[in-house]
Amino acid sequence: MNIKEKLASASKKERTPQQQKAMTILNWVATAVCIVVIVFALVMAIFTIAGTTNDNHLTQFGDKIYLNVASDSMEPTFNTSDVLIANAFNYEKQLSELKVGQVVTFKTTVRSGGATYEIYNTHRIVHINYENDGLTVRNFTTRGDNQDGTWQEAAAELDKDVDDQKESVIGSTEIVAPSNIVATWGSVDGEGNFKAGKMLKGVGGFSNWIQDTENFGANRKTRFFCIVVLPLILLFVIYAFILVRTLVIAKLENQRKVQSEQVVSVDGLSDEEKRRLAQELLASLQASAGGEKASDAKNADDAAAQEAPVQEEKSDEQNTGEKSE
């Protein structure tokens, strides 16, 4: 039995109602899993591709930038693995909109293992530093919220003279140039009150793992291939096999149908057709029997012809023997 026949026979096996129900459930589960995997892979692929369409390599759609939170420096404002939906920022056009209390995302560099990496950090502006003219913005002092004291207290402390400032209140800060700011999150009203922006709680953990933020993206390509590309390849192979199997079974079923249609039923013939069919069958049998008899007669003649010379030789030998006596 070849593979085509095996596939066809497997599809024709009768199943009990319980088996049919189990197969239906398994088919639904398999279909649901495939849909989830495909949707997940497509979403990850779209977000990854979107990160390659701009110079900052950020996931950006229009003026919205999706940022994965990779550290706890801004807790409790937002937590690790949250996804911030920030607004793209153009410092040449929007610099005057920045106020103390605004949360901004900016480029910065860190050193690890003897190497320097460029990353994005999200902190809050606690002071605006001006040039000597008091009008031109030179840079910003930023601070993470996850420190002792509030950002309002730190901002008030930075407004004091340098000699009067208390480092314990200010905490750890970072100076940021306006050109390094790429996005803003939330807003600050005229009275200095901060309103949080939109975010997706706890959905960025898996993305952080794929991007390997702990190791600055060292294993990002490998993880992306294993989690996104490889499942799509496997699904393609599985569905290709199912398609080929379905086509083979359909072809075999069609052949059986054609053969069954070509078989003539005797019950469907008229009396005249039955009589003619019987005569043709009888004539065929007689012709076959006559052919066998003719063949037997011919074989007998050939045997007799072969025996005649042998008898003549024996007769000659006997005559020769008598003469010698």
In the predicted model, what is the mean pLDDT of residues 240-265? 77
Domain that holds residue 111: 57-203
Check whether residue 107 and residue 13 sit in a common domain.
no
CA distance 141 to 169: 14
Check whether residue 39 and residue 134 sit in a common domain.
no
Bigger pLDDT: 288 vs 94: 94
CA distance 251 to 245: 10
What kind and span of H or E run contains 77? none
The answer to whether position 283 is within a domain reads no
Q: How far apart are the first and last CA of the chain?
A: 77
CA distance 85 to 64: 6
The answer to whether position 167 is within a domain reads yes
The answer to whether position 287 is within a domain reads no
Bigger pLDDT: 66 vs 323: 66
Check whether residue 195 and residue 81 sit in a common domain.
yes
Check whether residue 91 and residue 194 sit in a common domain.
yes
Helices 230-262, 17-50: axis angle to 10 degrees equals 140
Asked if 84 contacts 71 with a C-beta cutoff of 8 angstroms, the reply is no
Q: Say what the pLDDT of residue 106 is.
A: 95
Assess whether pLDDT exceeds 60 at residue 320: no
Check whether residue 156 and residue 190 sit in a common domain.
yes
The answer to whether position 264 is within a domain reads no
Check whether residue 44 and residue 156 sit in a common domain.
no
Q: Say what the pLDDT of residue 105 is.
A: 95
Q: Say what the pLDDT of residue 222 is.
A: 78
Residues 6 or more apart whose Cβ sits within 8 Å of residue 291? none
Q: Say what the pLDDT of residue 193 is.
A: 92
Q: What is the pLDDT of residues 18-33, one digit of tens each?
A: 877 887 888 788 788 8
Check whether residue 185 and residue 82 sit in a common domain.
yes
The answer to whether position 225 is within a domain reads no
Check whether residue 172 and residue 44 sit in a common domain.
no
Check whether residue 73 and residue 186 sit in a common domain.
yes
Residue 109 is classified by DSSP as E
Q: What is the pLDDT of residues 127-186, one digit of tens each?
A: 999 999 888 999 999 999 999 989 999 999 999 988 888 888 999 999 999 999 999 999
Is the pTM value of this prediction over 0.75? no
The answer to whether position 120 is within a domain reads yes
The answer to whether position 270 is within a domain reads no
Check whether residue 67 and residue 93 sit in a common domain.
yes
Count CB atoms within 10 A of the CB of residue 74: 22
If pLDDT is split at 50, 70 and 90, which confidence band does 265 have?
low
Q: Say what the pLDDT of residue 84 is.
A: 92
> Which of 249, 282, 304 is a domain's end point?
249
Inter-CA distances, 80 with 118, 200, 207, Å: 19, 11, 12
Check whether residue 149 and residue 244 sit in a common domain.
no
Check whether residue 9 and residue 32 sit in a common domain.
yes
CA distance 237 to 139: 55
Tally the domains of the chain. 2
Question: Each residue of 294-305: b (16+ CB within 10 Å) or e?
Answer: eeeeeeeeeeee
Phi and psi based region of residue 149 (left: phi greater than 0; alpha: psi -120 to 50; beta: remaining)? left
Tokens of 45: 């692929």
The answer to whether position 43 is within a domain reads yes
